[in-house]
Amino acid sequence: MKYTFTSVFLALASSSLSAYVPGTVVSELNKRDLASDVAKFGYTYCAANLPDVSQYAPVANSDLIFVQAFMRHGDRAPVFINDADIPLWNLCDKTVYNNVARPIYVTDLSNSTLNFNYVTANTSTCLPGELTQKGAEYSMSLGKKARSIYVDTLKFLDSDYKSQSQLRVRSTYIDRTQETARYFLSGLYPITPANKNVSTTIFHYQAAAETLLTNTALCPKLATVQGQIIATPQFQTYLAADPNVTQKLNTMFDVYSPNVTFFTTSRVYQSDLLQTRVCQNLPLPCNKLGQCATASDVTLELNNIQFEVKYTRRDSQYSPQFQRFASGPLFAQVLQELNSAIASQKKCNRVRMSIYSGHDDTMSNIMAGLHADDFGMLWPSYDDNTLLELWKNKSTGKYSVRILNNGQILKVLGANQGDSTPWCDFNGCDFDTFTNYMNSIIPANLAAECTV
């Protein structure tokens, strides 16, 4: 469901709203461009907008060469589940989809002994962070939308699934991203009697080498940059705001301790505690003192994360370094894959689509690295999706990149921080311009630049 807004305004203070709409954003909406986009396209944290074939048109006089499909995992249980709340989270029985879910084989590139055929757990009780039934179903819907474009309309992908020769599928090492990829594939290529036994391999890197996450093990200097961002007066003021609400929410966690840094340096887990319940229409939590979360707390914490995502990754004085070390390593892989697609475009049975199943962190780093506008920088919804298409002009032979973010053409700011003039038009961004920009973000020598 999408919500409309009769009024939009800045709400980063502790004042409550006169009306609460589950999962919607109100922070920073006094900005005309953001308010206009939200009113036109809608935003809810609980479910991303999906690409719509009725609004899709191929790039004029061009052939589609390659697609990179990036997505956040679907709806999930909270990262922390209190012991008393375990019965509440009985929303993860995905065996109901066994007859429609594609078989997958998960491979760890660092250790083949960890490879396995994925088997759906036979329980409804959610593990912390587990993909829910709702998350599985909506991820299939995303796959169906992709099929309507790339199979049914463009005929870019084969109509039947005899092998995965046209697909490359990557997840992180975290289970919910593997499941999301599985259900996306189940929508992209529904099970039929002829293809029900065709398995798809999903690969991932080891944790220390993962570029789909902000990875301080891969780049130790990232921890320094994160510390510098947190120490800025703007971020400290943000953290100090609304102490009574913060303390009330913190004491709702069994694992809370004032010495645990992720409770004191971010509001992500406080918002996660609330939003996971909102998205499932569950009662808001209470602490052991009998203090309960309210609708205004939900709104406040969602607003907090809207600020935190933008400030940390795009708007602080240290954000360019953050992008270089968090977005840059993934951008290097993205660009290498695009160039490989150009080099192999005449091969038979070539890979045509690369699927990346990641996290909100993944999507935020992509948007920040591309200098997305405020609408693009909203906290990624469940099943947030970005389609990067590589096209070749039939007349000139030149390549261009088009990016659809949650069904809309991505709008970006300038290449330099503070510049609002778009560095490229993603209706069709010249590939050379795109390459030069990406190379400006990608570290030339990651190991050397990341040394502390």
Q: What is the CATH number of the domain that holds 186?
A: 3.40.50.1240
- The pLDDT, as a whole number, for residue 29 is 37
Q: What are the structure tokens assigned to 296, written together?
A: 């205004």
Asked if the model's pLDDT at residue 285 lies above 70, the reply is yes
Whether 266 is covered by a domain: the verdict is yes
Whether 398 is covered by a domain: the verdict is yes
Whether 7 is covered by a domain: the verdict is no
Whether 288 is covered by a domain: the verdict is yes
Question: pLDDT tens for residues 130-166?
Answer: 999 999 999 999 999 999 999 999 999 999 999 999 9
Pairing of strands 200-204, 353-358: unpaired
- The pLDDT, as a whole number, for residue 9 is 27
Q: What is the mean pLDDT of the chain?
A: 92
> Do residues 157 and 236 share a domain?
no
Q: What is the pTM assigned to this prediction?
A: 0.93
- The pLDDT, as a whole number, for residue 348 is 85
In angstroms, the CA 332 to CA 235 distance is 30
> Do residues 185 and 326 share a domain?
yes
- The pLDDT, as a whole number, for residue 18 is 30
Mean pLDDT of 175-185: 98
> Do residues 338 and 265 share a domain?
no
> Do residues 433 and 325 share a domain?
yes
Whether 417 is covered by a domain: the verdict is yes
Nearest to 234 by CA among 333, 185, 307, 331: 307
> Do residues 59 and 199 share a domain?
yes
* Number of domain units in the chain: 2
Whether 206 is covered by a domain: the verdict is yes
Asked if the model's pLDDT at residue 11 lies above 70, the reply is no
Q: Residue 409: which residues within 8 A CB-CB, separation 6 or more?
A: 402, 403, 426, 427
In angstroms, the CA 326 to CA 308 distance is 16
Whole-number percent of the chain with pLDDT over 70: 93
Q: In Å, how far are 232, 386, 423 from 416, measured between CA atoms?
A: 20, 23, 9
- The pLDDT, as a whole number, for residue 32 is 52
Residue 299's domain comprises 221-312
In angstroms, the CA 164 to CA 226 distance is 39
- Look at residues 312, 339, 372 and tell me which one is the last residue of a structural domain: 312
> Do residues 125 and 65 share a domain?
yes
Q: What are the structure tokens assigned to 208, written together?
A: 């220390």
Mean pLDDT of 423-451: 97
Q: In Å, how far are 43, 76, 130, 248, 298 from 22, measured between CA atoms?
A: 11, 16, 21, 20, 8
- Look at residues 275, 294, 312 and tell me which one is the last residue of a structural domain: 312
Question: pLDDT tens for residues 186-202?
Answer: 999 999 999 999 999 99
Nearest to 266 by CA among 307, 296, 299: 307
> Do residues 61 and 190 share a domain?
yes
Question: pLDDT tens for residues 253-278?
Answer: 999 999 899 999 999 999 999 999 99
Question: pLDDT tens for residues 403-418?
Answer: 999 999 999 999 999 9
- Look at residues 277, 295, 312 and tell me which one is the last residue of a structural domain: 312
Whether 105 is covered by a domain: the verdict is yes
Q: What are the structure tokens assigned to 424, written together?
A: 């490229």
One-letter-per-residue 3-state SS of the chain: CCCCCCCCCCCCCCCCCCCCCCCCCCCCCCCHHHHHHHHHHCCCCCCCCCCCHHHCCCCCCEEEEEEEEEEECCCECCCCCCHHHHHHCCCCCCHHHCCCCCCEEEEECCCHHHCEECCCCCCCCCCCCCECHHHHHHHHHHHHHHHHHHHHHCCCCCCCCCCCCCEEEEECCCHHHHHHHHHHHHHHCCCCCCCCCCCEEEEECCHHHCCCCCCCCCCCHHHHHHHHHHHCHHHHHHHHCCHHHHHHHHCCCCCCCCCCHHHHCCCHHHHHHHHHHHHCCCCCCECCCCCECCHHHHHHHHHHHHHHHHHHHHHCCCHHHHHHHHHHHHHHHHHHHHHHHHHCCCCCCCCCEEEEEECHHHHHHHHHHCCECCCCCCCCCCCCEEEEEEEEECCCCCEEEEEEECCEECCECCCCCCCCCCCCCCCCEEHHHHHHHHHHHCCCCHHHHCCC
Compute the half-sphere exposure of residue 313: CA atoms within 13 Å on the CB side of its CA: 30
Burial 353-362 (b: 16+ CB within 10 A, else e): bbbbbbbbbb
Q: What are the structure tokens assigned to 234, written together?
A: 């703007």
> Do residues 257 and 342 share a domain?
no
Question: pLDDT tens for residues 104-140?
Answer: 999 999 999 999 999 998 999 999 999 999 999 999 9
Whether 350 is covered by a domain: the verdict is yes
Mean pLDDT of 357-364: 98
> Do residues 101 and 143 share a domain?
yes
> Do residues 79 and 190 share a domain?
yes
> Do residues 433 and 348 share a domain?
yes
> Do residues 405 and 440 share a domain?
yes
Q: Which of 32-36, 64-68, 128-132, 282-286 has the lowest mean pLDDT?
A: 32-36
